[in-house]
Structure 1
């Protein structure tokens, strides 16, 4: 297995090939652990609602709902929360299609809402999710579950449930692959190509 995360060779600035940091069995295992942690902290799952942040957060939320039902014997409501129009960089990004927001029939008022995302980075996605959620209802409490926390927070946001803490540099990339979207499960750590030097 190639464990290189820097340049491929001396004097070579090409990014190294991405290396796996989580495989399919690892993802299944950490989701099971997170589900147990949710049940323990919530003392059950009676008022838990899972809301995934598109795209991969939705698939992770659905998987967590299945595991919570296996643990508790209760069906846990699951939905999706599109944050596109709540992003603080909306005007700086290319136009993007809106994803679907789907809120369970009983809503979120008075419930424990667990937001689910694939990677926690700057925290800006979660800030946008909190704004979007505030326009939908008033949960009793809001928690955050992520598959990977890669650090480099720009806002005072932390996850309540973390599959893997993965220290990274800003040059490194974290790519989550899920079968529902990518045909396979995995988390890959890679490096960005360096920015081209400016002409003098």
Structure 2
């Protein structure tokens, strides 16, 4: 007679400790892979918010210009009151408009972007990154430009989603029609220009 109790096999499966160990290893590899391929885990939402806000600033400029019958240029635009800029109007509202255009925001249905764009002492920033706003000339190649200084996490997210689509940044890119960037400076940042056609 064979005693079957001696030959009991241990049931298959993993212990809780083994499963936790595997999950930790996968997590570490995921973070390393994300950094290697330029995927901004934390910068993605920031990059998207920056791009969408610049797009809205450009669109609102065009809407206000069309409503008022003036050019959509940024420099020498007749919409702002004396001593104010177009960004003062787009962010701060109709109190910054010249008297001749005091109702243009209401007529156009444009609301100030004060919740998305911060203003302090004449400097405007989105998600904590200061920028300059220019352009507006019509015709081929015309459009609005937004110039920022970003770390590679933000630059890479913008380029992969709105620019050339690459995951690994080149030394620089001055040819992309949507997002261009310079070489990395001494502080580890790049000058990035976002374009929005008219």
* TM-score, structure 1 normalization: 0.23
* TM-score, structure 2 normalization: 0.23
Tell which has more relative contact order, 1 or 2 (C-alpha 8 A, sep 6+).
Answer: 1
Q: Decide which structure has greater strand share.
A: 1
Q: Decide which structure has greater helix share.
A: 2
Larger Rg: 2
